[in-house]
Amino acid sequence: MVEHPDRTLTAVSEESGEFSFFGLPAAKYQLRVEYRGASQLYQQTDEFSTAIVVGAALDSEHIVFPLDSPAGISGTVIDGDGDPVSGAMVYLFGRTVSRGLSQTEMKGQTNTTLAGNFHFGHLSPGSYYVAAAGRPWYARSRSQIQPVTVEGSANPPPEPPSELDVAFPLTYYPASTTPEGAAPLTLEEGAKAEIQLTLNAVPALHAGWDGIQTQPDQFISANLVQAGPGGMPVPVQSMTTPNGIEGMAPGNYILNAFSIVQNRQSELGSQAVGLAGDSTIHLNEATKTSIRGIVQFDGEIPENLSLWLGDVANGSVSFEPIAKDRSFSIPQIQPGRYSLLMGNTNEFYIQKIAVKGAAFADGVLEVAPGAQIELVITAAKGMTKIDGTVVHGKTPVPGAMVLVIPQDSTRAKYIPRDQSDSDGTFTLNQVPPGRYMLVAIQNGRNLAYAEPAVIAPYLPQGQVIDVPLPKDAKVEIEVQPRR
Protein backbone atom coordinates (compact mmCIF):
# COMPACT_ATOMS: atom_id res chain seq x y z
CA MET A 1 0.00 0.00 0.00
CA VAL A 2 1.44 3.34 -1.02
CA GLU A 3 1.13 6.18 1.50
CA HIS A 4 0.91 9.14 -0.90
CA PRO A 5 -0.85 8.11 -4.13
CA ASP A 6 -1.40 11.81 -4.96
CA ARG A 7 2.34 12.39 -5.41
CA THR A 8 3.39 11.32 -8.88
CA LEU A 9 6.46 11.20 -11.11
CA THR A 10 6.37 10.39 -14.81
CA ALA A 11 8.85 8.95 -17.27
CA VAL A 12 8.59 8.08 -20.97
CA SER A 13 9.89 4.66 -21.95
CA GLU A 14 12.54 4.34 -24.64
CA GLU A 15 12.11 2.38 -27.87
CA SER A 16 13.44 -0.67 -26.06
CA GLY A 17 10.73 -0.27 -23.39
CA GLU A 18 13.24 0.69 -20.72
CA PHE A 19 12.32 3.35 -18.14
CA SER A 20 13.86 4.68 -14.96
CA PHE A 21 13.23 6.94 -11.98
CA PHE A 22 16.23 8.36 -10.11
CA GLY A 23 16.73 9.78 -6.64
CA LEU A 24 13.71 8.14 -5.02
CA PRO A 25 13.60 8.11 -1.21
CA ALA A 26 12.93 4.77 0.49
CA ALA A 27 9.18 4.06 0.27
CA LYS A 28 6.54 2.02 -1.54
CA TYR A 29 5.62 3.17 -5.04
CA GLN A 30 2.66 2.27 -7.23
CA LEU A 31 3.79 1.71 -10.81
CA ARG A 32 1.35 2.56 -13.60
CA VAL A 33 1.74 2.45 -17.38
CA GLU A 34 -0.48 4.46 -19.72
CA TYR A 35 -0.35 3.31 -23.31
CA ARG A 36 -2.68 3.87 -26.28
CA GLY A 37 -5.54 5.09 -24.12
CA ALA A 38 -5.29 2.26 -21.62
CA SER A 39 -3.95 2.32 -18.06
CA GLN A 40 -2.52 -0.63 -16.16
CA LEU A 41 -0.93 -1.12 -12.75
CA TYR A 42 2.02 -3.42 -12.12
CA GLN A 43 0.77 -7.00 -11.67
CA GLN A 44 -2.77 -5.64 -11.52
CA THR A 45 -5.60 -7.87 -10.32
CA ASP A 46 -8.89 -5.99 -10.17
CA GLU A 47 -8.09 -2.73 -8.32
CA PHE A 48 -5.11 -4.28 -6.53
CA SER A 49 -1.50 -4.25 -7.65
CA THR A 50 2.05 -4.95 -6.48
CA ALA A 51 3.83 -1.86 -5.20
CA ILE A 52 7.58 -1.50 -5.78
CA VAL A 53 9.48 -1.11 -2.50
CA VAL A 54 12.58 1.07 -2.74
CA GLY A 55 15.18 0.87 0.02
CA ALA A 56 18.50 -0.51 1.17
CA ALA A 57 19.24 -4.08 0.04
CA LEU A 58 16.05 -4.17 -2.08
CA ASP A 59 16.22 -4.79 -5.83
CA SER A 60 14.04 -2.24 -7.60
CA GLU A 61 16.05 -2.10 -10.85
CA HIS A 62 15.09 -5.25 -12.74
CA ILE A 63 11.35 -4.78 -13.19
CA VAL A 64 9.66 -6.43 -16.13
CA PHE A 65 6.20 -4.91 -16.67
CA PRO A 66 4.20 -7.10 -19.09
CA LEU A 67 1.25 -5.22 -20.58
CA ASP A 68 -2.03 -7.01 -21.01
CA SER A 69 -3.27 -7.21 -24.57
CA PRO A 70 -6.85 -5.93 -24.36
CA ALA A 71 -9.68 -7.70 -26.13
CA GLY A 72 -12.44 -5.98 -28.08
CA ILE A 73 -15.91 -6.47 -29.51
CA SER A 74 -17.00 -4.66 -32.67
CA GLY A 75 -20.15 -5.05 -34.65
CA THR A 76 -23.01 -3.71 -36.70
CA VAL A 77 -26.69 -3.36 -35.87
CA ILE A 78 -29.05 -3.77 -38.81
CA ASP A 79 -32.81 -3.95 -39.23
CA GLY A 80 -34.87 -6.71 -40.81
CA ASP A 81 -34.29 -5.25 -44.27
CA GLY A 82 -30.53 -5.32 -43.81
CA ASP A 83 -30.23 -1.54 -43.39
CA PRO A 84 -27.98 -0.12 -40.66
CA VAL A 85 -29.68 1.10 -37.48
CA SER A 86 -28.15 4.37 -36.34
CA GLY A 87 -28.48 5.70 -32.80
CA ALA A 88 -29.33 2.29 -31.34
CA MET A 89 -28.22 1.76 -27.75
CA VAL A 90 -25.85 -1.20 -27.45
CA TYR A 91 -25.29 -2.75 -24.02
CA LEU A 92 -22.30 -4.85 -22.95
CA PHE A 93 -22.56 -7.28 -20.05
CA GLY A 94 -19.63 -9.21 -18.64
CA ARG A 95 -19.46 -12.36 -16.54
CA THR A 96 -16.70 -11.51 -14.09
CA VAL A 97 -15.58 -11.93 -10.50
CA SER A 98 -16.25 -8.81 -8.43
CA ARG A 99 -15.55 -8.57 -4.70
CA GLY A 100 -14.94 -12.32 -4.75
CA LEU A 101 -18.33 -13.23 -6.24
CA SER A 102 -19.16 -14.46 -9.73
CA GLN A 103 -21.42 -11.75 -11.12
CA THR A 104 -22.85 -10.49 -14.38
CA GLU A 105 -22.29 -6.76 -14.60
CA MET A 106 -23.02 -4.09 -17.16
CA LYS A 107 -19.60 -3.22 -18.58
CA GLY A 108 -20.60 -0.39 -20.87
CA GLN A 109 -23.05 1.06 -23.33
CA THR A 110 -22.67 3.02 -26.52
CA ASN A 111 -24.72 4.31 -29.46
CA THR A 112 -24.32 3.02 -32.99
CA THR A 113 -22.92 5.33 -35.66
CA LEU A 114 -24.77 6.41 -38.81
CA ALA A 115 -23.47 3.21 -40.38
CA GLY A 116 -24.83 1.14 -37.48
CA ASN A 117 -21.38 0.34 -36.12
CA PHE A 118 -20.29 0.01 -32.48
CA HIS A 119 -17.12 -0.94 -30.62
CA PHE A 120 -16.15 -1.92 -27.08
CA GLY A 121 -12.42 -1.89 -26.40
CA HIS A 122 -9.95 -2.41 -23.54
CA LEU A 123 -11.74 -5.57 -22.41
CA SER A 124 -10.24 -8.15 -20.09
CA PRO A 125 -10.45 -11.86 -20.93
CA GLY A 126 -13.83 -13.30 -20.03
CA SER A 127 -17.37 -13.98 -21.20
CA TYR A 128 -19.53 -11.16 -22.52
CA TYR A 129 -23.10 -10.63 -23.71
CA VAL A 130 -24.24 -7.96 -26.16
CA ALA A 131 -27.74 -6.52 -26.50
CA ALA A 132 -29.20 -3.65 -28.51
CA ALA A 133 -32.39 -1.63 -28.44
CA GLY A 134 -33.67 1.41 -30.25
CA ARG A 135 -36.38 2.79 -32.43
CA PRO A 136 -36.71 2.77 -36.18
CA TRP A 137 -35.87 6.19 -37.60
CA TYR A 138 -39.29 6.43 -39.23
CA ALA A 139 -41.29 5.30 -36.17
CA ARG A 140 -44.15 7.45 -34.97
CA SER A 141 -46.03 6.64 -31.79
CA ARG A 142 -49.78 6.81 -31.66
CA SER A 143 -49.80 10.22 -30.00
CA GLN A 144 -47.44 11.57 -32.67
CA ILE A 145 -49.73 10.61 -35.53
CA GLN A 146 -52.45 13.16 -36.18
CA PRO A 147 -55.90 11.52 -36.22
CA VAL A 148 -57.83 11.67 -39.46
CA THR A 149 -61.24 13.31 -39.07
CA VAL A 150 -64.19 12.46 -41.28
CA GLU A 151 -66.10 15.53 -42.42
CA GLY A 152 -69.53 15.74 -40.89
CA SER A 153 -68.83 13.00 -38.35
CA ALA A 154 -69.11 13.94 -34.69
CA ASN A 155 -67.44 10.71 -33.59
CA PRO A 156 -64.84 9.67 -36.16
CA PRO A 157 -64.14 5.92 -36.21
CA PRO A 158 -60.95 4.73 -34.53
CA GLU A 159 -57.96 4.62 -36.80
CA PRO A 160 -56.38 1.22 -37.50
CA PRO A 161 -52.84 0.72 -36.20
CA SER A 162 -50.33 2.66 -38.26
CA GLU A 163 -47.48 0.93 -40.04
CA LEU A 164 -45.28 3.64 -38.52
CA ASP A 165 -46.18 2.74 -34.94
CA VAL A 166 -43.42 0.16 -34.47
CA ALA A 167 -40.60 -0.56 -32.03
CA PHE A 168 -37.44 -2.63 -31.78
CA PRO A 169 -37.51 -5.10 -28.88
CA LEU A 170 -34.40 -5.37 -26.70
CA THR A 171 -32.47 -8.05 -28.56
CA TYR A 172 -29.52 -10.13 -27.36
CA TYR A 173 -26.87 -11.52 -29.64
CA PRO A 174 -27.38 -13.57 -31.69
CA ALA A 175 -31.20 -13.23 -31.97
CA SER A 176 -32.99 -13.51 -28.62
CA THR A 177 -35.41 -11.15 -26.92
CA THR A 178 -34.70 -12.72 -23.52
CA PRO A 179 -31.38 -12.88 -21.64
CA GLU A 180 -31.76 -16.65 -21.31
CA GLY A 181 -31.21 -16.96 -25.07
CA ALA A 182 -28.13 -14.73 -25.15
CA ALA A 183 -24.97 -16.41 -26.46
CA PRO A 184 -21.75 -15.61 -24.58
CA LEU A 185 -18.77 -14.21 -26.44
CA THR A 186 -15.74 -15.78 -24.77
CA LEU A 187 -12.62 -13.66 -25.29
CA GLU A 188 -9.03 -14.59 -24.62
CA GLU A 189 -6.39 -11.93 -24.03
CA GLY A 190 -6.05 -9.78 -27.15
CA ALA A 191 -8.97 -11.43 -28.96
CA LYS A 192 -11.19 -9.42 -31.30
CA ALA A 193 -14.81 -10.42 -31.95
CA GLU A 194 -16.90 -9.17 -34.88
CA ILE A 195 -20.67 -9.64 -34.66
CA GLN A 196 -23.85 -8.57 -36.40
CA LEU A 197 -27.09 -8.03 -34.51
CA THR A 198 -30.45 -7.75 -36.25
CA LEU A 199 -33.32 -5.74 -34.76
CA ASN A 200 -36.72 -6.66 -36.17
CA ALA A 201 -39.44 -4.03 -35.89
CA VAL A 202 -42.73 -5.18 -34.37
CA PRO A 203 -46.03 -3.33 -33.84
CA ALA A 204 -45.68 -1.05 -30.84
CA LEU A 205 -48.05 -1.22 -27.90
CA HIS A 206 -50.03 1.32 -25.92
CA ALA A 207 -50.76 0.81 -22.23
CA GLY A 208 -53.21 3.15 -20.56
CA TRP A 209 -53.51 3.41 -16.83
CA ASP A 210 -56.08 3.86 -14.12
CA GLY A 211 -56.43 3.25 -10.40
CA ILE A 212 -55.22 6.65 -9.26
CA GLN A 213 -57.15 9.89 -8.89
CA THR A 214 -55.15 12.76 -10.38
CA GLN A 215 -55.47 16.49 -9.79
CA PRO A 216 -55.54 19.09 -12.60
CA ASP A 217 -51.90 20.07 -11.99
CA GLN A 218 -50.72 16.48 -11.51
CA PHE A 219 -48.85 14.53 -14.18
CA ILE A 220 -48.04 10.81 -14.15
CA SER A 221 -44.65 9.78 -15.50
CA ALA A 222 -43.35 6.26 -15.94
CA ASN A 223 -40.43 4.31 -17.32
CA LEU A 224 -39.93 0.69 -18.27
CA VAL A 225 -36.99 -1.58 -17.55
CA GLN A 226 -36.33 -5.20 -18.37
CA ALA A 227 -34.27 -7.64 -16.36
CA GLY A 228 -31.00 -8.26 -18.17
CA PRO A 229 -28.30 -10.85 -17.50
CA GLY A 230 -27.78 -11.29 -13.77
CA GLY A 231 -30.94 -9.30 -13.09
CA MET A 232 -29.30 -6.04 -14.15
CA PRO A 233 -32.11 -3.55 -14.96
CA VAL A 234 -31.95 -2.39 -18.58
CA PRO A 235 -33.93 0.74 -19.54
CA VAL A 236 -36.29 0.40 -22.49
CA GLN A 237 -37.26 3.27 -24.75
CA SER A 238 -40.89 4.36 -24.45
CA MET A 239 -43.00 7.51 -24.33
CA THR A 240 -45.25 8.75 -21.54
CA THR A 241 -48.52 10.39 -22.58
CA PRO A 242 -51.19 12.00 -20.39
CA ASN A 243 -53.13 8.74 -20.48
CA GLY A 244 -50.46 6.05 -20.46
CA ILE A 245 -47.24 4.80 -21.98
CA GLU A 246 -46.56 3.83 -25.60
CA GLY A 247 -43.93 3.01 -28.19
CA MET A 248 -42.65 -0.25 -26.64
CA ALA A 249 -42.47 -3.77 -28.02
CA PRO A 250 -44.34 -6.67 -26.42
CA GLY A 251 -42.48 -8.17 -23.47
CA ASN A 252 -42.14 -8.47 -19.72
CA TYR A 253 -41.28 -5.24 -17.95
CA ILE A 254 -40.96 -3.52 -14.61
CA LEU A 255 -42.91 -0.26 -14.70
CA ASN A 256 -41.76 2.49 -12.34
CA ALA A 257 -44.42 5.17 -11.91
CA PHE A 258 -44.04 8.69 -10.54
CA SER A 259 -46.37 11.54 -9.66
CA ILE A 260 -45.23 15.04 -10.65
CA VAL A 261 -46.87 18.11 -9.12
CA GLN A 262 -45.31 21.53 -9.71
CA ASN A 263 -42.02 19.93 -10.79
CA ARG A 264 -41.85 17.88 -7.59
CA GLN A 265 -41.62 14.15 -8.18
CA SER A 266 -42.73 11.40 -5.82
CA GLU A 267 -42.65 7.65 -6.39
CA LEU A 268 -45.90 5.76 -6.84
CA GLY A 269 -44.20 2.37 -6.87
CA SER A 270 -43.19 -0.41 -9.22
CA GLN A 271 -44.95 -3.39 -10.68
CA ALA A 272 -44.24 -6.22 -13.07
CA VAL A 273 -46.27 -5.96 -16.28
CA GLY A 274 -46.47 -8.45 -19.11
CA LEU A 275 -47.49 -6.63 -22.27
CA ALA A 276 -48.69 -8.73 -25.21
CA GLY A 277 -51.09 -6.17 -26.66
CA ASP A 278 -52.74 -2.87 -25.87
CA SER A 279 -53.80 -3.00 -22.23
CA THR A 280 -54.52 -1.06 -19.06
CA ILE A 281 -52.11 -0.85 -16.13
CA HIS A 282 -53.71 -0.43 -12.71
CA LEU A 283 -51.41 1.95 -10.87
CA ASN A 284 -53.08 1.19 -7.56
CA GLU A 285 -51.48 -2.28 -7.81
CA ALA A 286 -47.98 -0.80 -7.82
CA THR A 287 -45.90 -1.76 -4.82
CA LYS A 288 -43.21 0.11 -2.98
CA THR A 289 -40.26 -1.99 -1.94
CA SER A 290 -38.54 0.01 0.75
CA ILE A 291 -35.92 -0.11 3.48
CA ARG A 292 -35.76 2.21 6.44
CA GLY A 293 -34.04 2.08 9.76
CA ILE A 294 -31.67 3.57 12.24
CA VAL A 295 -28.00 3.19 13.05
CA GLN A 296 -27.02 2.98 16.72
CA PHE A 297 -23.53 3.86 17.91
CA ASP A 298 -21.75 5.87 20.58
CA GLY A 299 -20.46 9.37 19.98
CA GLU A 300 -21.04 12.00 17.30
CA ILE A 301 -22.18 11.00 13.84
CA PRO A 302 -19.30 11.21 11.33
CA GLU A 303 -19.59 13.53 8.35
CA ASN A 304 -21.06 11.84 5.23
CA LEU A 305 -21.66 8.52 6.99
CA SER A 306 -23.74 6.25 4.74
CA LEU A 307 -25.08 2.75 4.34
CA TRP A 308 -23.38 0.76 1.57
CA LEU A 309 -25.51 -1.73 -0.35
CA GLY A 310 -23.99 -4.15 -2.84
CA ASP A 311 -26.17 -6.22 -5.16
CA VAL A 312 -24.83 -9.76 -4.88
CA ALA A 313 -26.12 -10.76 -8.35
CA ASN A 314 -24.78 -7.98 -10.55
CA GLY A 315 -22.26 -6.03 -8.49
CA SER A 316 -24.09 -2.70 -8.57
CA VAL A 317 -23.43 -0.52 -5.52
CA SER A 318 -25.33 2.34 -3.90
CA PHE A 319 -24.66 4.59 -0.93
CA GLU A 320 -27.61 5.76 1.15
CA PRO A 321 -26.96 8.77 3.42
CA ILE A 322 -27.52 8.51 7.15
CA ALA A 323 -29.24 11.58 8.60
CA LYS A 324 -28.14 13.53 11.66
CA ASP A 325 -30.77 11.71 13.73
CA ARG A 326 -29.04 8.46 12.57
CA SER A 327 -32.00 7.33 10.47
CA PHE A 328 -31.97 6.33 6.82
CA SER A 329 -34.68 5.68 4.28
CA ILE A 330 -34.70 4.00 0.86
CA PRO A 331 -38.29 4.57 -0.35
CA GLN A 332 -37.87 2.41 -3.46
CA ILE A 333 -35.30 -0.34 -4.01
CA GLN A 334 -35.11 -3.06 -6.63
CA PRO A 335 -35.81 -6.53 -5.23
CA GLY A 336 -32.69 -8.67 -4.91
CA ARG A 337 -29.97 -9.87 -2.55
CA TYR A 338 -27.81 -7.23 -0.88
CA SER A 339 -24.78 -7.16 1.36
CA LEU A 340 -24.52 -4.23 3.79
CA LEU A 341 -21.59 -2.23 5.14
CA MET A 342 -20.99 1.16 6.70
CA GLY A 343 -19.90 3.54 3.95
CA ASN A 344 -17.63 6.60 3.79
CA THR A 345 -15.91 5.76 7.06
CA ASN A 346 -12.60 4.26 8.16
CA GLU A 347 -13.75 3.81 11.74
CA PHE A 348 -17.22 2.26 11.98
CA TYR A 349 -18.26 -1.27 11.13
CA ILE A 350 -21.55 -3.13 11.47
CA GLN A 351 -21.56 -5.09 14.72
CA LYS A 352 -25.04 -6.59 14.33
CA ILE A 353 -28.27 -6.09 12.40
CA ALA A 354 -31.85 -6.64 13.56
CA VAL A 355 -34.15 -7.18 10.58
CA LYS A 356 -37.94 -6.96 10.32
CA GLY A 357 -39.76 -7.80 7.10
CA ALA A 358 -37.01 -9.74 5.32
CA ALA A 359 -34.67 -12.70 5.64
CA PHE A 360 -31.06 -12.02 6.60
CA ALA A 361 -28.44 -14.76 6.62
CA ASP A 362 -24.70 -15.02 5.99
CA GLY A 363 -24.45 -11.26 5.63
CA VAL A 364 -27.04 -11.07 2.83
CA LEU A 365 -30.40 -9.25 3.00
CA GLU A 366 -33.13 -10.84 0.87
CA VAL A 367 -35.34 -8.04 -0.54
CA ALA A 368 -38.61 -9.43 -1.90
CA PRO A 369 -40.98 -7.41 -4.15
CA GLY A 370 -43.25 -5.19 -2.07
CA ALA A 371 -41.32 -5.76 1.15
CA GLN A 372 -41.36 -3.01 3.76
CA ILE A 373 -38.11 -3.66 5.59
CA GLU A 374 -36.99 -2.16 8.88
CA LEU A 375 -33.38 -2.39 10.07
CA VAL A 376 -31.76 -1.58 13.37
CA ILE A 377 -28.02 -1.51 12.76
CA THR A 378 -25.61 -1.47 15.65
CA ALA A 379 -22.31 0.06 14.57
CA ALA A 380 -19.11 0.37 16.53
CA LYS A 381 -15.67 1.84 16.23
CA GLY A 382 -12.70 -0.46 16.17
CA MET A 383 -11.55 -0.86 12.59
CA THR A 384 -7.90 -1.83 12.58
CA LYS A 385 -5.25 -2.94 10.11
CA ILE A 386 -3.04 -5.97 9.72
CA ASP A 387 0.53 -5.66 8.47
CA GLY A 388 2.43 -8.75 7.46
CA THR A 389 4.58 -10.60 4.92
CA VAL A 390 3.80 -13.37 2.46
CA VAL A 391 6.58 -15.95 2.30
CA HIS A 392 7.49 -19.24 0.70
CA GLY A 393 9.72 -20.82 3.30
CA LYS A 394 11.73 -17.76 4.29
CA THR A 395 11.60 -16.02 0.88
CA PRO A 396 9.20 -13.04 0.48
CA VAL A 397 6.56 -13.54 -2.23
CA PRO A 398 5.30 -10.57 -4.26
CA GLY A 399 1.96 -10.43 -6.08
CA ALA A 400 0.04 -12.83 -3.83
CA MET A 401 -3.62 -12.34 -2.97
CA VAL A 402 -4.04 -11.92 0.80
CA LEU A 403 -7.44 -12.46 2.44
CA VAL A 404 -8.87 -12.55 5.94
CA ILE A 405 -11.97 -14.76 5.96
CA PRO A 406 -14.33 -13.89 8.86
CA GLN A 407 -15.41 -16.78 11.06
CA ASP A 408 -18.61 -14.87 11.94
CA SER A 409 -21.10 -15.91 9.23
CA THR A 410 -23.00 -12.60 9.49
CA ARG A 411 -19.96 -10.91 7.92
CA ALA A 412 -19.38 -13.61 5.33
CA LYS A 413 -19.55 -11.23 2.35
CA TYR A 414 -17.06 -8.69 3.74
CA ILE A 415 -13.58 -10.07 3.19
CA PRO A 416 -10.68 -7.57 3.57
CA ARG A 417 -8.13 -8.08 0.82
CA ASP A 418 -4.72 -6.90 -0.36
CA GLN A 419 -1.91 -7.92 -2.69
CA SER A 420 1.66 -8.39 -1.49
CA ASP A 421 4.24 -5.87 -2.69
CA SER A 422 7.67 -6.47 -4.20
CA ASP A 423 9.15 -7.25 -0.74
CA GLY A 424 6.26 -9.58 0.16
CA THR A 425 4.65 -7.15 2.60
CA PHE A 426 0.93 -6.38 2.73
CA THR A 427 -1.51 -4.21 4.66
CA LEU A 428 -5.12 -5.18 5.25
CA ASN A 429 -7.09 -2.05 6.13
CA GLN A 430 -10.47 -1.66 7.81
CA VAL A 431 -10.64 -5.03 9.53
CA PRO A 432 -13.33 -5.23 12.24
CA PRO A 433 -12.57 -7.05 15.50
CA GLY A 434 -13.13 -10.79 15.41
CA ARG A 435 -11.63 -14.14 14.53
CA TYR A 436 -10.40 -14.68 10.96
CA MET A 437 -8.61 -17.16 8.75
CA LEU A 438 -5.62 -15.50 7.06
CA VAL A 439 -4.90 -16.89 3.60
CA ALA A 440 -2.33 -16.04 0.90
CA ILE A 441 -2.80 -17.37 -2.65
CA GLN A 442 -0.18 -17.22 -5.38
CA ASN A 443 -2.46 -16.02 -8.20
CA GLY A 444 -5.78 -14.48 -7.24
CA ARG A 445 -6.98 -13.31 -10.63
CA ASN A 446 -10.67 -14.15 -11.20
CA LEU A 447 -10.86 -16.21 -8.00
CA ALA A 448 -14.39 -16.21 -6.54
CA TYR A 449 -13.04 -16.28 -3.01
CA ALA A 450 -16.31 -15.13 -1.38
CA GLU A 451 -18.03 -18.34 -2.53
CA PRO A 452 -17.64 -21.04 0.17
CA ALA A 453 -16.98 -23.90 -2.25
CA VAL A 454 -14.17 -21.95 -3.95
CA ILE A 455 -12.31 -20.82 -0.83
CA ALA A 456 -12.78 -24.07 1.13
CA PRO A 457 -9.66 -25.86 -0.28
CA TYR A 458 -7.43 -23.00 0.95
CA LEU A 459 -8.69 -22.82 4.52
CA PRO A 460 -6.90 -25.87 6.01
CA GLN A 461 -3.52 -24.26 5.23
CA GLY A 462 -4.60 -20.83 6.47
CA GLN A 463 -3.67 -19.16 9.73
CA VAL A 464 -6.20 -18.32 12.45
CA ILE A 465 -5.81 -14.80 13.83
CA ASP A 466 -7.75 -12.77 16.37
CA VAL A 467 -8.21 -9.07 15.58
CA PRO A 468 -7.05 -6.71 16.96
CA LEU A 469 -3.60 -8.27 17.01
CA PRO A 470 -1.25 -7.81 19.95
CA LYS A 471 0.79 -4.65 19.68
CA ASP A 472 3.84 -4.96 17.39
CA ALA A 473 2.75 -8.46 16.31
CA LYS A 474 4.56 -9.69 13.21
CA VAL A 475 2.44 -11.74 10.85
CA GLU A 476 3.92 -14.13 8.31
CA ILE A 477 1.72 -16.25 6.08
CA GLU A 478 2.87 -19.08 3.84
CA VAL A 479 1.69 -18.68 0.24
CA GLN A 480 -0.48 -21.38 -1.30
CA PRO A 481 -0.51 -22.35 -4.97
CA ARG A 482 -3.63 -21.58 -7.00
CA ARG A 483 -5.97 -24.54 -7.06
The predicted structure's pLDDT at residue 178? 94
d(CA 364, CA 461): 27
Are 432 and 349 contacting, i.e. CB atoms less than 8 angstroms apart? yes
Beta strands in 242-285 (DSSP E): 244-248, 251-261, 264-275, 279-282
| Average pLDDT, integer, range 9-28 | 90
Residue 435 located in a structural domain:
yes
The predicted structure's pLDDT at residue 46? 85
Residue 54 located in a structural domain:
no
- Kind and range of the H or E run holding 452: helix 452-455
Q: Are residues 294 and 232 in the same domain?
A: no
| Average pLDDT, integer, range 337-346 | 92
Which residue in 314, 96, 312, 117 sits closest to 187, CA to CA? 96
Q: Are residues 83 and 194 in the same domain?
A: yes
Q: Are residues 76 and 187 in the same domain?
A: yes
Q: Give buried/exposed letters for 426-446 (b at 16+ CB in 10 A, else e).
A: bbbebbbbbebbbbbbeebee
Q: Are residues 198 and 210 in the same domain?
A: no
At 147, the pLDDT band (50, 70, 90 cuts) reads: low
Residue 4 located in a structural domain:
no
CATH number at residue 281: 2.60.40
- Decide: helix, strand or coil at residue 92: strand
Residue 11 located in a structural domain:
no
d(CA 461, CA 403): 13
| Average pLDDT, integer, range 193-205 | 96
User: Structural domain tally of the chain?
Assistant: 4
Highest mean pLDDT, choosing among 42-46, 52-56, 257-261, 292-296: 292-296
CATH number at residue 126: 2.60.40.1120
Residue 12 located in a structural domain:
no
- Kind and range of the H or E run holding 454: helix 452-455
CATH number at residue 438: 2.60.40.10
Q: Which domain holds residue 364?
A: 290-381
| Average pLDDT, integer, range 399-415 | 86
Residue 374 located in a structural domain:
yes
- Region of poorest pLDDT, from 5-19, 79-93, 141-155: 141-155
Are 133 and 238 contacting, i.e. CB atoms less than 8 angstroms apart? no
Q: Are residues 390 and 366 in the same domain?
A: no
Q: Are residues 308 and 280 in the same domain?
A: no
Q: Are residues 84 and 169 in the same domain?
A: yes
| Average pLDDT, integer, range 241-248 | 90
Q: Are residues 225 and 300 in the same domain?
A: no
Q: Are residues 140 and 105 in the same domain?
A: yes
Of 285, 303, 336, at which residue does a domain stop? 285
Of 346, 381, 416, at which residue does a domain stop? 381
At 103, the pLDDT band (50, 70, 90 cuts) reads: confident
Q: Are residues 212 and 180 in the same domain?
A: no
Residue 326 located in a structural domain:
yes
Of 230, 264, 285, at which residue does a domain stop? 285
pLDDT higher than 80, residue 320: yes
Residue 155 located in a structural domain:
no
At 146, the pLDDT band (50, 70, 90 cuts) reads: low
The predicted structure's pLDDT at residue 150? 45
The predicted structure's pLDDT at residue 174? 96
- Kind and range of the H or E run holding 428: strand 425-431
Q: Are residues 375 and 444 in the same domain?
A: no
How many CB atoms are located within 10 Å of the residue 405 CB? 21
- Region of poorest pLDDT, from 29-33, 80-84, 143-147, 427-431: 143-147
The predicted structure's pLDDT at residue 141? 79
d(CA 427, CA 53): 13
Q: Are residues 81 and 166 in the same domain?
A: yes
